[in-house]
Amino acid sequence: MIVAGLGFSSTATCASLRAAFDRATAGQAVDALATAADKAGHPALAEFAAACALPLHFADPADLAGQRTLTCSARSRASHGTGSVAEASALAAAGPGARLISPRQISDDRLATCAVAIGGQT
């Protein structure tokens, strides 16, 4: 399974998410979206997931903190215990043995990030 993980600020828009997603996926097909559980109620996230017609997975805090990320944001580390919410969410949702195929990419407005992981098991 290929999962696009999303990290974003409370002021992110659907366009912010789309820009980060497009940059990270570069046209690659994705099976699902993922993000931190505490972002579940964000309206731009619901709009973006509906537009993509992809299932949305929410990672628990412990699942995020347990992931090794390639990049590190001090804000992400402080708020979620991981270097990148996007990378950690993608890895957690892709399952055991997952690996990143695109590290965190940042939208032009710097309000959203996206990373892509592929599951280690078929």
The whole-number pLDDT of residue 56 equals 96
Q: Where are the domains of the chain?
A: 2-118
Average model confidence (pLDDT) across the chain: 92
Range 2-118 classified under CATH 3.30.1700.10? no
The whole-number pLDDT of residue 89 equals 96
Show the CA angle centred on residue 63, arms to residues 59 and 65, nearest 5°: 115
Show the CA angle centred on residue 91, arms to residues 121 and 24, nearest 5°: 110
The whole-number pLDDT of residue 35 equals 96
| Alpha-helical runs (H) found in 1-122 | 14-25, 43-52, 61-65, 74-80, 85-94
The whole-number pLDDT of residue 8 equals 95
Strand order in the sheet with 99-106: 56-59, 32-36, 2-8, 112-118, 99-106
Q: What is the mean pLDDT of residues 76-80?
A: 80
Query: How far is the CA of 25 from the CAs of 43, 60, 61, 77, in angstroms?
Result: 22, 24, 25, 24
Q: What is the mean pLDDT of residues 70-83?
A: 81
93 pLDDT above the threshold of 90:
yes
The whole-number pLDDT of residue 121 equals 64
- Could you identify the residue written with the tokens 């990373």? 115
pLDDT, tens digit (0-9, with 9 covering 90-100), for 25-76: 998 999 999 999 999 999 999 999 999 999 999 999 889 887 888 888 888 8
Dihedral angle over CA of 79, 103, 118, 9, nearest 10:
40
Distance, in Å, from the CA atom of 77 to the CA atom of 84, rounded to the nearest integer, reads 7
Question: Three-class SS of residue 7?
Answer: strand
Under the banding of pLDDT at 50, 70 and 90, the label for residue 92 is very high
